[in-house]
Amino acid sequence: MEKKNYTISIYTENNIGLLSRIAAIFLKRHFNIESITASKSEVNEVMRFIIVVEITEDQVKKIIGQIEKQIEVIRAYYHTDEELIFQETALYKVNSAEFVEDLTIQDFIKETNARIVTVTPKFFVIEKTGKRYEIDDLYDKLKPYGLMQFVRSGKIAVSKNEMPISSILEDFNTININS
Amino acid sequence: MEVKTASKEKKIKQAPTTVSGAEAVIKCLLEEGIDTIYGYPGGAIMPVYDELYKYQDKIHHVLTRHEQGATHAAQGYARVTGKVGVCIATSGPGATNLVTGIADAQIDSTPMVCITGQVGSHLLGSDAFQETDIVGISTPVTKWNYQVTKAEEIPEVLAKAFYIARSGRPGPVLIDITKDAQFATLDFTYKKCTGIRSYKPFPTVNLSEIERAADLINSAKKPMIVFGQGVILGGAETLLQQVVEKAGVPAAWTILGLSAMATDHPLNVGMVGMHGNYGPNVLTNDCDVLIAIGMRFDDRVTGNLDHYAKQAKVIHFEIDPAEINKNVKAEVAVLGDVKETLQLLLGFLKPNNHDAWHQKFKDLYKIEYDKIINNELNGKEGKLGMTEVIDEINTSSNGDAIIVSDVGQHQMVACRYAKFNKPRSNVTSGGLGTMGFALPAAIGAKMGMPQRQVVAIIGDGGYQMTIQELGTIFQTKVPVKIVVLNNGFLGMVRQWQQMFFDNRYASTELINPDFVAIAKGYFIKAKKVTERSELKNAIKEMMDSPEAYFLEVKVEQEENVFPMIPTGASVSEIRLE
């Protein structure tokens, strides 16, 4: 089976140990996590993890099963890039001297729709949000000018299809109140 | 209505009382109906032990000689009673010593709650004396774990712990409690946990899948059942027998499914897997419908997956959705507790028999009997064989004993030959293969089922891994029967060295001490048997003993366990020699 980038979305309770519990599931199977982000979700008091891995579909199905088995995981989903709207964000710290001297840098910024976040006498910080190849492209262009620092976020994504967490939680409440 | 009245009464009784966190722990255990716990004291858990002292008329605390022993004893207790086993330990080494037992309980789905003390919360992360991150360490081997740093969390967290440990597919839960949380006070009220919104222990049963399963079974020509521990955990032993009898399907078991169905039932065709019976292994690759009930297709059961039951349509009855299609693709997946799903299945099954197909199992059994079983049961010459000992125990117990086996050759022999009439009678470490499991597990099993005979079958290697628990047996006077089958080797590893490593016996020979003297040192009745002629009387004396009894049997040193599926081979390539 072919390996692909799968984006796993995990809705969970907010629990201190859960990140290592989820990470351990990947570790046990020797799967390398490409990126991971955690944030609040659209539902109050529910966290959302987004984990990107390059594995086969069979493997991703099995790992979803293992993740959903964890007590504080409400639901987990997996998607391919085609099923998602997704972005990454990167910050580039560039030496001010280079920036002022060489106007081509300014052209890159305009061309790539990047944004200047901070300007100081010593450095500029440029922010670029977009697809991975766009971020990599700007990286390649800025690299020759001496990147002082570079960092890229994990993938953030929303799915085209619904992930009905609220109704799952409502179902639980209904059952529990009736019983 | 009755329930409501009862809970009202309880509420009145349960006006909050101010107690320490440590006392709250004990009160939670009492609320959960726990009367026996296993453990070992130490600095960070002392407040809880102080309360145990006050509550000793209500909770029996068994002091094991090592924390690992406490976990296996709790497991033994849980496996024979179906209740949650509880063990307790201090921080640091006390906690890390629990890890093997926790991992064992996780892979064998045993309900267990472990409570560990932790350094004071102001010291967390400071590398304090006996501080260890037991929550981090135990994460991959627990169903759930949690660190309590505030006394008022204790009732709710322990209620959750017991609920999680026993519900759905059971498993171990670890609760780590900082020392300051044990000392601090809280207003105690207890409410049993009945649900957690992110946790669905029982998947929704889909009736159409049950109908599809029934259709497949009803139209099958060569159906075969393989049942596992799920049947026992679900309390579905009678239902299983009804399904087997109504549909007339030969049924085989995994090592943890053993005793879910009487071993002498005419449709019980024996064990599957690496050292299982010849018939069910070979015919796994001949059946047209394979009905897996509460089992998880472990690699020791399936052999090479590329050649496992490829011709068969697989029906998988399973409570844990993550097990579906994990190792073997299921044509029909029936999710749910087998107690519920088998009951529903029964209604759709047509009475049937498959005599010609069943005859195939009998024919293959005849081959196995002639080649292996007969020789092992009736070896009249040379040194005693392990099978003869198990057979003699069968004769004496009539299949009514609880057999607790350790790990290795003797385990395979015990599981292959022990007779069982009653469920929850086979206690062994299946998934993890934990040597040293049996002696402490037998203690827990006997305490859980004091009216039943409990016999531990152990090899000379595994015995020495937890031999210190003889101290627990002596102190508690628990009348377990201990049989050590002494072949002077780590027998299973030696067998592999002989077969696959060209007879290079690397570090498998054991120069053993005087086991009888050691048992006697603990004031336990003990005997050693070296001759066939002595065996019968020795077993009888042991079984009849009202006290604990240790019996060492010197057996053939280089006996091999057959049949055997070599690693990488298919189940139908099982070797008889």
For residues B121-135, give the mean pLDDT.
97
Q: Are residues B409 and B355 in the same domain?
A: no
* Domain-embedded: residue B83: yes
Please check the confidence at residue B261 and state whether its pLDDT lies above 90: yes
In a domain, B165, yes or no: yes
Active site (annotated) includes residue B376: no
**CATH assignment at residue B281:** 3.40.50.1220
Give the pLDDT of residue B14: 59
Claim to verify: residue B264 and residue B134 sit in the same structural domain: no
Per-residue pLDDT of chain A (179 residues; tens, 9 = 90+): 899 999 999 999 988 889 999 999 999 999 999 999 999 999 999 999 999 999 999 999 999 999 999 999 999 999 999 999 999 999 999 988 877 777 787 888 888 899 999 999 999 999 999 999 999 999 999 998 889 999 999 999 999 999 888 888 888 877 765 54
For residue B172, give both structure tokens.
């171990």
Give B195 to chain A, closest Cα distance, Å: 7
Query: Least CB-CB distance to A24: which of B139, B164, B322?
Result: B139
Shared-domain flag, residues B255 and B400: no
**Hey, is the C-beta of A73 within 8 angstroms of any chain B C-beta?**
yes
Nearest to residue B243, comparing CAs of B261, B269, B264?
Answer: B261
The answer to whether residues B525 and B548 touch, using CB atoms and an 8 Å cutoff, is yes
Residue B237 catalytic?
Answer: no
The answer to whether the Cβ–Cβ distance between A68 and B322 falls below 8 Å is yes
Would you call B179 a catalytic residue per the annotation?
Answer: yes
What gap in Å lies between CA B319 and CA B304, rounded to an integer? Answer: 25
User: What is the pLDDT, as a whole number, of residue B195?
Assistant: 95
C-alpha distances in angstroms, A165 versus A39, A76, A101, B200, B380?
15, 10, 52, 14, 68
Structural domain count of chain B = 3
Chain B neighbors of A61, CB-CB under 8 A:
325
DSSP letters spanning A114-168: -EEEEE-SSEEEEEEEE-HHHHHHHHHHHGGGTEEEEEEPPPEEEESS---HHHH
Q: Give B4's pLDDT tier (boundaries 50, 70, 90).
A: very low
Query: Residue B313: what pLDDT?
Result: 98
Q: Could you tell me the two tokens for A49?
A: 């993890």
Longest CA–CA separation in chain A, Å: 73
Q: Is B129 a catalytic residue?
A: yes
Same domain, B117 and B236: no
List the catalytic residue out of B10, B14, B46, B130: B130
CA distance A51 to A36: 4
- A3 CB within 8 Å of a chain B CB: no
Residue B27 lies inside a defined structural domain of this protein:
yes
> Does a structural domain hold residue B367?
no
Residue of A nearest to B323 (CA): A65
**Closest residue on chain B to A27 (Cα):** B140
**Of the residues B129, B202, B501, B523, which is catalytic?**
B129
**Residue at B112 is within a domain:** yes
Cα(B393)–Cα(B399) distance, integer angstroms? 9
Please tell me the least confidently modeled range out of A146-150, B98-102, B259-263, B474-478.
A146-150
Chain A residues touching B325 at Cβ < 8 A: 61-62
CA–CA gap between residue B456 and residue B445 (Å, rounded)? 10
Flag if A72 and B198 touch (Cβ within 8 Å): yes
B141 and B42, same structural domain?
yes
CATH code assigned at B404? 3.40.50.970
CB atoms within 10 A of CB B435: 22
- Which listed residue (B27, B160, B179, B360) is catalytic? B179
Summary mean pLDDT of chain B: 96
Structure confidence by residue, pLDDT tens digits, B150-205: 999 999 999 999 999 999 999 999 999 999 999 999 999 999 999 999 999 999 99
Chain A residue numbers with beta carbons less than 8 Å from the beta carbon of B143 are 71
CA dist B269 and B261 (Å) reads: 11
Distance CA B466, CA B435 (A): 9
- Residues of chain A contacting B147 with CB distance shorter than 8 Å: 16-17
Domains of chain A (ranges; CATH) run 3-79 (3.30.70.260), 86-152 (3.30.70.1150)
How close A72 comes to chain B (CA, Å)? 5
- How far B116 CA sits from the closest chain A CA (Å)? 17
Based on the fold, state whether residues B546 and B409 are members of the same structural domain.
yes
Identify the residue with better confidence: B471 or A94. Answer: B471
Separation of alpha carbons A131 and B350, rounded Å? 59
Q: Which positions in chain B touch A68 (Cβ < 8 Å)?
A: 321-322
- For B248-290, where are the alpha helices, taking DSSP H only? 278-284
Mark yes or no for CB contact B199/A71 under 8 Å.
yes
The answer to whether residues B367 and B277 touch, using CB atoms and an 8 Å cutoff, is: no
CB–CB contact A17 B320 (8 Å): no
Residues B313 and B343 in one domain: yes
Supply the pLDDT for residue A108.
81
The Cα of B381 is separated from the nearest Cα of chain A by a number of Å equal to 49
Whether B194 is covered by a domain: the verdict is no
Using the Cβ of A157 and the Cβ atoms of chain B, whether some distance falls under 8 Å is answered with no
| Residue B332 and residue B209 in contact, taking contact as beta carbons nearer than 8 Å | yes
With an 8 Å Cβ cutoff, are B144 and A71 in contact?
A: yes
Contact status of A69 with chain B (Cβ, < 8 Å) = yes
Q: Is residue B199 part of a domain?
A: no
Instruction: Compare all CA atoms of chain B with the CA of A175 and give the residue at the minimum distance.
Output: B195
Q: Please report whether residue B71 resides in a domain.
A: yes
Structure tokens at A100: 């002022």
Is pLDDT at B279 greater than 60 in this prediction? yes
Whether residue A121 lies within 8 A of chain B, CB to CB, comes out as no
Same domain? B257 vs B228: yes
Are residues B37 and B170 located together in one domain of the fold?
Answer: yes
Percent of chain B predicted with pLDDT > 70: 98
Range of the domain at B519: 383-554
Assign B12 a pLDDT band (cuts: 50, 70, 90): low
Q: How far is B131 from B150, CA to CA, in rounded Å?
A: 18
Q: pLDDT grade, residue B1 (50/70/90)?
A: very low
Say if A173 is an interface residue toward chain B (CB within 8 Å): yes
- Does A21 sit within 8 Å of B199, measured CB to CB? no
Predicted confidence band of residue B5 (pLDDT cuts 50, 70, 90): very low
Q: Do B164 and A28 touch (CB under 8 A)?
A: no
The answer to whether residues B231 and B293 touch, using CB atoms and an 8 Å cutoff, is: yes
Contact B497, B506 (CB under 8 A): yes
Do residues B214 and B346 share a domain? yes
- The answer, yes or no, to whether residue B9 has pLDDT greater than 70, is no
Q: What is the mean pLDDT of residues B362-385?
A: 94
- Per the residue annotation, which of B465, B492, B542, B543 is the catalytic one? B492
* Cβ pair A69:B136 closer than 8 A: no
Q: What is the pLDDT of residue A176?
A: 65
Nearest chain A residue to B161 by CA distance is A71
Q: Are residues B459 and B494 in the same domain?
A: yes
The radius of gyration computed from the CA coordinates of chain B, to the nearest angstrom, equals: 24
Q: Do B444 and B495 belong together in one domain?
A: yes
Measured between beta carbons, the chain B residues lying within 8 angstroms of A169 are: 197
Nearest Cα residue in chain B from A24? B140
